[in-house]
């Protein structure tokens, strides 16, 4: 009787013993997740190597990569890299000028470019639309015109670009048009550049007023003085959202240190 009990106990223990057959594969370890934060991405901590990789990205992906860490943001915010990503798809040789915000570089569509046409006697919106093969409404929309009569109070009009080959090998100038109230990369088809000093000065004044509005907005949002708001704006290359994020990080770090 005792032997039977021992045999039953042995059988019950065998049921819970794991099988060690050579034909049963052991479970494979979970796949290793690659992240810029672990040791597998130590190669991407080099600025030169990171720059050679990020310079192949389009503007939108380049903007996303700047959110990874501070090193990536410093590399992705480089002026030469932003200009290359912005002008590369259209073959633009050079982009002269600095936009009021780095958000200008994030979109490299044709809507960011325009032709500068110096108005002369006899010019009409319909005639310019026919000359440059664009729609009349597109010219009005770009120049913030309600009617055709707005042409008589201006010295030039911005013409939308519909032929990308015009930008190949060209030099564009980033300007804030006084009437259009928008920043565009302007192409001068005659091969020149901004020549009217009054227009340039008007653009500078508009840019200064815009910077002042951004500074006041950041100052009110952060509840700080002008000097602090200007410091964080300069550290964020004029981007108010990045300036607020940087201020929040510094404030959080300061609060943690005071609690310790």
For residue 39, name the pLDDT band (cuts at 50, 70, 90): very low
Angle at alpha carbon of residue 240, lines to 237 and 244, rounded to 5°: 110
Q: Which of 189-193, 198-202, 215-219 has the highest mean pLDDT?
A: 215-219
Give the model's pLDDT for residue 28. Answer: 60
Cα–Cα distance, 153 to 115 (Å, whole number): 19
Neighbours of 49 (CB within 10 A): 12
Question: What are the extents of the domains in the chain?
Answer: 48-195, 208-259
* Mean pLDDT value of segment 11-32: 52
**DSSP secondary structure of 204-255:** HHHHHHHHHHHHHHHHHHHT--HHHHHHHHHHTTT-HHHHHHHHHHHHHHHH
In this model, does residue 18 exceed pLDDT 80?
Answer: no
pTM here is 0.56
pLDDT by residue (tens digit) across 104-119?
888 878 889 999 999 8
149 or 200, which is more confident: 149
Longest Cα–Cα distance of the chain, Å, equals: 122
CATH class of 48-195: alpha beta
């Amino acid at each position: 009787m005792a032997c039977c009990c021992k045999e039953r106990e042995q059988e019950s223990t065998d049921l819970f013993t794991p099988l060690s057959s050579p034909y049963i594969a052991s479970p494979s370890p979970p796949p290793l997740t690659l992240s810029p934060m672990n040791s597998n991405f130590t190669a991407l901590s080099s600025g030169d190597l990171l720059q050679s990789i990020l310079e192949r990205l389009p503007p939108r992906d380049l903007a996303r990569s700047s959110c990874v860490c501070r090193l990536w943001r410093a590399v992705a915010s480089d002026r030469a890299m932003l200009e290359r990503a912005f002008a590369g798809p259209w073959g633009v040789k050079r982009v002269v000028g600095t936009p009021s915000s780095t958000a200008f570089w994030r979109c490299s569509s044709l809507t960011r470019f325009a032709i500068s046409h110096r108005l002369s006697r006899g010019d009409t919106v319909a005639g310019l639309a026919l000359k440059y093969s664009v729609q009349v409404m597109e010219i009005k929309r770009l120049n913030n015109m309600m009617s055709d009569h707005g042409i008589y109070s201006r010295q030039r009009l911005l013409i939308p670009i519909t032929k990308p080959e015009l930008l190949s090998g060209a030099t564009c100038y980033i300007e804030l048009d006084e009437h259009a109230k928008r920043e565009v990369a302007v192409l001068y088809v005659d091969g020149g550049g901004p020549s009217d000093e009054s227009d340039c000065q008007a653009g500078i004044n508009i840019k200064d007023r815009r910077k002042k509005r951004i500074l006041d907005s950041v100052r009110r949002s952060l509840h700080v003085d002008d000097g602090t708001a200007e410091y964080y704006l300069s550290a964020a290359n004029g981007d108010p959202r990045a300036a607020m994020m940087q201020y929040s990080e510094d404030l959080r770090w300061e609060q943690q240190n005071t609690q310790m």
